[in-house]
Amino acid sequence: MIRLENIYKYYYSESSVTQALRNVNLEFSKGEFVAITGESGSGKTTLLNVISGIDTYDEGEMYVNGQPTFQYDDDDWEAYRRNKIGFVFQNYNLIGHYTVLDNMISALLILGVGEKKAEKKALKYLEKVGLKGFEKSRASKLSSGQKQRLAIARALAKETDIIMADEPTGNLDSETGLQIIKLLAELSKEKLVIMVTHNYEQAQDYVTRKVKIHDGEIVLDVAVNTDKRINYKAEQPSDDKNADAGEKLGNQPKNTQVDLNQKRKEENSIARYFAWKNFSTQKLRGLLFIVFFMVVSTASFLFLGQIYSNIDDSSTKKYDDSVYYNGDKTRISVRKKDGTSFNKSDIEKLNKIKYVKNTDICDKADDINYYCEEGKDYKYSYGAVESDGSSYGALDPDDSSSSYSIRTQSENNWTFAKGIKKAVKQDMNVNFIKKNKFMRSVSCITKSDLVKGSLPKKNNEVVVYSKDSSVVGTTKRFYFTAKNIWGMDGYYYEDMKITGCLKEETEQAYFAESLCNMLSSSADGAKFKIDFMYDTKTDSYQGSYKLIPIYSETRDNLYDSSADMTEDEDTKDRDYDYRNGVPSGEKARASCNTQVTLNNLGTYDETYDEDATAMMGTDRLTITKKDKNGELTGESDKLVLEVTKEVTDYSDRFIEISKHLYYKYFKNESNQAAVYISNYAKTDKVIKSIEKLDKNYEAVSAYRMSLGEYNDEKVSERLVTLGIALGVLVMLIILEIFILRSLMKIKIKDYFVLKFIGMKLNTINKISIMEMFSYCAVTIVFVIVAANIIALCGSRVMIDMLAYYTIPFYLIFIVYNLILCGVTVKAFNKLLVQRMIKN
């Protein structure tokens, strides 16, 4: 069967060459039980390794069934070991965490035996060596003798003609060792058994041949116990080069592509089996790998998220609130190119866009602050107020300098604005504390958002959230300021009736569209100017003041149709031509806080200050119209109106007119809507969707439109954040290669066992690849799912981060971790190959 002719083997080091075998000439046949003996270091194991194909020879020739092996490559030696040799080792070379049956089946699967057939075969040989009943026992739990019996059963199951045993009794007691010797002797009746032993006396009564080696050279080769030897007819070399299973594989017909694909599938199937078997039999070790990958995946997810979120450098710029006072990053302003207004249909269309939370038809009102909680949003102070907001002294309401009192023209006494007499007596001022609440119109919600009540329809109606729904029907004072529209000192208030209570907890209040449009109308509507204190001598007005027109739902009694003389040309010419105005029957209320500058009677060189009293009486109102783009036109209307003695308590520029007059020049509509999205990161995507939805739409990010120059401190912070994130990602690569490779070294012994029982090195590599990539894939999925669950639970940090995780970014995260895993596994497989070659 096997013949060695003039075999030499050398081991090389940097400084020397060691001769391990020298001029070895041996021939072995089936039916022999050969004992190779010799002192330690004599070359016994080296000879066994050369015969079994574990190690190669340097000179001479070895024949297998008459065929030379000098041209064998790694694949050929692998096939030789797998198909021709059964191994029994001193240390058993079992996979300890596999069961007895799993160890048997593994060896058969490597040979290409089907799983069911392998199990049947395994049970047969386990019974043959006396291990029936131990099938489900872990190999690590067996006694030493049982382990060796299992190793022999595994070798037998391969059904090869040759069994190589390296010190099979070295770790056994004498009684158990003798049992193993007897078992090998029995097997040698049908096979060639070559055993290396240091205890020849134990085996001398059972072997049929003794070979002694000294310093790598055969010094004794004799037959013993000849009566126990079975003579087999010597095999003759076959003329057909392809007929023998042990011939050079290169001489066989080339595999077709179909054959190669089939072999690849079989290898992959085997690799999957062992990868799953490793996890199912070593769950704690598998969990250790999963935990490690979990740490790596989580860290990479978070730090990649930091990089994604910092790609946009908008956070490093200063916000200029002169354009959009409300700095909400999720707000997108939408206009129509033709300048027309938005309607309910537009809102419904915009709300259907992905990532859009809601749409406010009154975008400009969303820059108006409101205050509704006294002591929290605003507070009152008493006394005169300096320009910096500080107060001094308490004023006597009878003092003409009192900021809330006015003197009538007809009587030398003080009157007060209706409903504020008590406040005026205390000389009360309003200080606005928190400017973090901004108006939203009722177009953002529906009736289904209410737990009770109805949506607001009038200017003095509002919807709020309250734990106590009984607030519906009550009245609450709301103050409003609009720095971008009314200036720094402008404010308005209304005693609002709460018509509905929201289901979801929020600080946001929702107002009627009419109120939102009214408070923002001066931003792009007509301009009002009132001329007052007409001087007949100079035929001119002493005072002129630009005002912000408003109307009151509760006090709309400022229009007298019976006094409308616009159609009476004679009356108009007789009584009003000197004022260049048109009688209208309209009245108005000025604010008690009004302070105006007048020219002194008869001169234009001197001026003096006056309060709202100066405006009372018959005045001229000039209304300059604007076009649809908000630009002033040359057109204007002039009419006569009466400023009543009754005053309001808004800031000085507000003038209360009739609803009739207001809607003559202003419409209850908006030409600019605000789209609010789920996250700022979706801004570009939503803007594209809006403009794609309707070619007439044009959209901009309100936040980005308000960004100015860079903030050096924030730029530095961003660069530091990016640097840290990139550094961590690089460190993860280095750490994973070193740490994971170290963890994988725990499995090297198992891979060596698989190699010795015939598994291809390529298949072993695939097992480690499949195992590690499975763990990596599980953790990737887990991290993604966990991050989204955390976001659904309301984590603002995670919500903001996930907003940047678009499909391309998720792919980058997945690819990064898979590449990281692949690099590590490749490094381990390289180490594994080196170890196997070395050993």
User: 766-818, pLDDT tens digit by residue?
Assistant: 888 998 999 999 999 999 999 999 989 888 888 888 888 888 889 999 999 99
pLDDT at 39 over 80: yes
Tell me what pLDDT residue 228 has.
63
Phi, psi of 222 (to 5 degrees): -130, 150
Residue 53 lies in a domain: yes
pLDDT at 516 over 90: yes
Is 753 found in the same domain as 731? yes
Mean predicted confidence (pLDDT) in 701-728: 85
Q: Is 376 exposed, middle or buried (CB count within 10 Å of its CB: 0-12, 13-18, 19+)?
A: exposed
Residue 546 lies in a domain: yes
Is 826 found in the same domain as 805? yes
251: left (phi over 0), alpha (psi -120 to 50) or beta: alpha
pLDDT at 237 over 60: no
pLDDT at 611 over 50: yes
- Angle CA 84–88–92, to nearest 5: 140
Instruction: Compute the distance between CA of residue 164 and CA of residue 36 in angstroms, rounded to an integer.
Output: 11
Is 816 found in the same domain as 756? yes
pLDDT at 430 over 90: no
Residue 168 lies in a domain: yes
Residue 501 lies in a domain: no
Is 131 found in the same domain as 95? yes
Is 216 found in the same domain as 113? yes
Is 164 found in the same domain as 80? yes
Mean predicted confidence (pLDDT) in 369-397: 65
Which structure tokens are listed for 87?
């191994």
Tell me what pLDDT residue 617 has.
87
pLDDT tens per residue, range 692-703: 999 999 999 999
CATH code of residue 232? 3.40.50.300
Tell me what pLDDT residue 558 has.
87
Highest mean pLDDT among 148-162, 255-269, 496-510, 595-609: 496-510
Mean predicted confidence (pLDDT) in 645-664: 89
Tell me what pLDDT residue 532 has.
87
**Helices first, then strands: H and E counts in the chain:** 22, 36
Is 288 found in the same domain as 243? no
Tell me what pLDDT residue 383 has.
57
For the chain, the domain total comes to: 4
pLDDT at 211 over 90: yes
Mean predicted confidence (pLDDT) in 254-266: 69
pLDDT at 578 over 60: no
Residue 756 lies in a domain: yes
Comparing C-alpha atoms, which of 636, 364, 627, 624 is closest to residue 515?
364
Residue 219 lies in a domain: yes
**What residues make up the domain containing 745?**
263-311+713-838
Residue pair 657/522 in contact by the 8 Å Cβ criterion: no
Q: Is the pTM of this model over 0.75?
A: no
Tell me what pLDDT residue 226 has.
74
pLDDT at 410 over 80: no
Q: Give the mean pLDDT of the chain.
A: 83
Residue 239 lies in a domain: yes
- Residues above pLDDT 70, as percent of the chain: 86
pLDDT tens per residue, range 474-499: 999 999 999 988 888 889 999 999 99
Domain end, chosen from 235, 253, 271, is at 253
DSSP for residue 25:
E
Cα distances from 442 to residues 361, 472, 513, 687, 747, in angstroms, run: 9, 16, 6, 23, 66
pLDDT at 253 over 70: no
Is 285 found in the same domain as 214? no
- Residues above pLDDT 90, as percent of the chain: 39
Is 13 found in the same domain as 152? yes
Give the pLDDT band (50/70/90) at residue 541: confident
State how beta strands 697-701 and 369-371 pair.
unpaired
Is 739 found in the same domain as 656? no
Tell me what pLDDT residue 100 has.
93
Residue pair 715/316 in contact by the 8 Å Cβ criterion: yes
Tell me what pLDDT residue 382 has.
65
pLDDT tens per residue, range 680-689: 889 999 999 9
Tell me what pLDDT residue 515 has.
96
Give the pLDDT band (50/70/90) at residue 246: very low
Is 66 found in the same domain as 149? yes
pLDDT at 577 over 90: no
Give the pLDDT band (50/70/90) at residue 347: very high
Tell me what pLDDT residue 632 has.
67
pLDDT at 84 over 80: yes
Highest mean pLDDT among 89-93, 226-230, 693-697: 693-697
Which structure tokens are listed for 198?
């240091």
Give the pLDDT band (50/70/90) at residue 429: confident
Comparing C-alpha atoms, which of 471, 562, 581, 455 is closest to residue 515?
455
Instruction: Compute the distance between CA of residue 75 and CA of residue 28 in angstroms, rounded to an integer.
Output: 24
Highest mean pLDDT among 289-293, 319-323, 784-788: 784-788
Residue 79 lies in a domain: yes
Domain end, chosen from 642, 664, 686, is at 664
pLDDT tens per residue, range 434-477: 899 999 999 999 999 999 999 999 999 999 999 999 999 999 99
Is 148 found in the same domain as 289? no
